[in-house]
Amino acid sequence: MNKLRKGSSLDDPFLVGTVRIAPYYPLLLEILKIRSEVMRKFFLSLLLVILPCNTGIAHGVERVVIANVPSVAYYENIFLMANTIEGNWMGHKDFTVQVGYPPGKLLYHFPNWYNDKFTPDLLYEDLNADNLKDIIVVLVAGSGSGLSIKEIHVLNQIHDPNRRYEEVQVESINDAVKRLVKLERHGNEAAILIGNKKHTVDISKFGYSIGFEERPFVGAWEEYTPVNGLLEGSTLVYVSIGGSIGTLKIRYNWDGKMYKAKSVTFDEEEPYKPTS
């Protein structure tokens, strides 16, 4: 069974999982010359689909490329690699981020990262207004019916003077809500207090049949998204299992050491009205 050797990468003539990458370099280089960004991304995505299919091995793939950000510049092609998990064919662990191709490739290993299901988000955007793009990885920490818990990792790009990436801390959505928001329930009225502002919601109008919790809660559904150069998070507010009443939106700020929530807003949900 083939494994990614320590210190090896996408250019290694050995196997990455059971996928041999090196023979495809001429095709990769031709794809990167395509002027149309849309077509370039299409062919790169197609190549990533074809590679595992041409290994001649139906089972036992351990090391796989699960996401990538293509670029015309060889040093800005980003690959997210991980091991599959025995007994959880949709899960991945032991991640590696590779930036660029030889001779200037950079490798970063994260053995403790874990993705439960589905494809993680891999993004490349400037989040701290320093005109250097940062690597954003959003993992699915937990999932199920109505459940989607996310875990974000940000690798800030640094030039000192050589280009490199360094993982920095990001305040989680849960920690931000605990710090900036107070959630209460009084009978059929839910209260969301953010600073000096109070939002009240009549939860009876939603018609939820499941018993209400003692107080509203968050954390069952989360999302992280870059918006206009800033990191934003969002989470649903629930009053019962599966019974949401609105969304908290968190805007982050880079304080020089970490991405920390600086503001929160609440958008009330419209009750579902079945059409006749």
| For residues 202-226, average pLDDT | 92
Q: Is the pLDDT of residue 162 over 50?
A: yes
pLDDT at 88: 82
Q: Which amino acid does the sequence have at 48?
A: L
Residue where the block lists tokens 């880079």: 254
Report the range of poorest mean pLDDT among 233-237, 252-256, 272-276.
Answer: 272-276
| pLDDT value for 52 | 47
Gap between the Cα atoms of 243 and 238, Å rounded? 5
Higher pLDDT, 181 or 61: 181
The pLDDT of residue 36 is: 61
pLDDT for 116 beyond 80: yes
Q: Binning pLDDT at 50, 70 and 90, where does residue 54 land? A: very low
Average pLDDT, the chain: 83
Q: Report the share of the chain in percent with pLDDT over 70.
A: 77
User: pTM to 2 decimals?
Assistant: 0.78
Residue 206: which pLDDT band, with cuts at 50, 70 and 90? very high
DSSP string for 83-150: EEETTEEEEEEEEEEEES-TTS-EEEEEEEEEE-SSPPEEEEE-SSSSS--EEEEEEEEEEETTEEEE
Distance CA 257, CA 15 (A): 38
User: For residue 57, what pLDDT is reported?
Assistant: 40
Cα separation, 54 vs 250, whole angstroms: 44
Query: Cα–Cα distances in Å, from 91 out to 9, 98, 142, 219?
Result: 21, 20, 10, 20
